[in-house]
Copies of this chain bind each other. A is one copy, B any other.
Amino acid sequence: MQTKKSIGKKILSANEECAIKNSRILSERKKLCLNMISSPGSGKTTILHRTISELKGKIRIGVIEGDIQTDLDAEKIRKTGAPAIQINTNGACHLSAAQVSRALKQLPLDDLDLIFIENVGNLVCPSAFELGETGKVAVLSVAEGDDKPAKYPAIFARAKALLINKIDMLQTGGRVDFDIERVKRDVCKLNKTIEIFPISAKTGEGMRNWYDWLLKSTKDILS
């Protein structure tokens, strides 16, 4: 009988094979692809909405939206004019490389510089499933607490960038206790090269540094 561990390995390997194919397609066509991972409600969709709107005319962005059910997020993204493909996982807690492969075929890749994958809201499982992305972007809202990198290290160890979102909440009379310096310290212990951007997708604070990083990263892919 197979052990739980060996079963897990087999499923992961099938996924990884497909991820390698996605990665090849994306790098041959020189597209930046970022896999956004966070808990539900950290603000991924709002970040994407604002990013797409403000970078219009500078980077052409498409989105793959992963949700357990509903297409609320893809609808929100389409309002910006960007193409968005909704994937419903029907209960599964993460996107698979095969799902992303099908979505990539539906996107007008020739007309895009950057593809965001908004993964299912879950800080744990999606970090273990490669999708063929160029890099992972973790999102943590200050409302979730500053102990999260210590308690859920996997995604913080693997991400190229971390967006600390909803920093506008830190200014509301001290109702949110969140020590950004503690998060930076804990994350840097796990990951020496990660870029950390404290932002508010609601007010726009700090978003300029994130945009500059995206502009630079799309240029690096082309060169």
Contact = CB atoms under 8 A, between A and B. Distances in A.
Interface residues of A, number: 40
A91 interface: yes
Contacts of A4: 11
6 contacts: A4-B11, A69-B153, A72-B150, A93-B93, A121-B151, A172-B173
A172 B67 CA distance: 30
Copies of this chain: 2
A84 to B, nearest CB: 16
A106 interface: no
Nearest to A154: B91
Given A68-B152, A120-B124, A169-B172, 16 more contacts: A39-B40, A39-B123, A40-B123, A40-B148, A40-B151, A41-B144, A70-B150, A93-B93, A121-B123, A121-B151, A143-B144, A143-B169, A168-B175, A169-B176, A172-B172, A172-B173
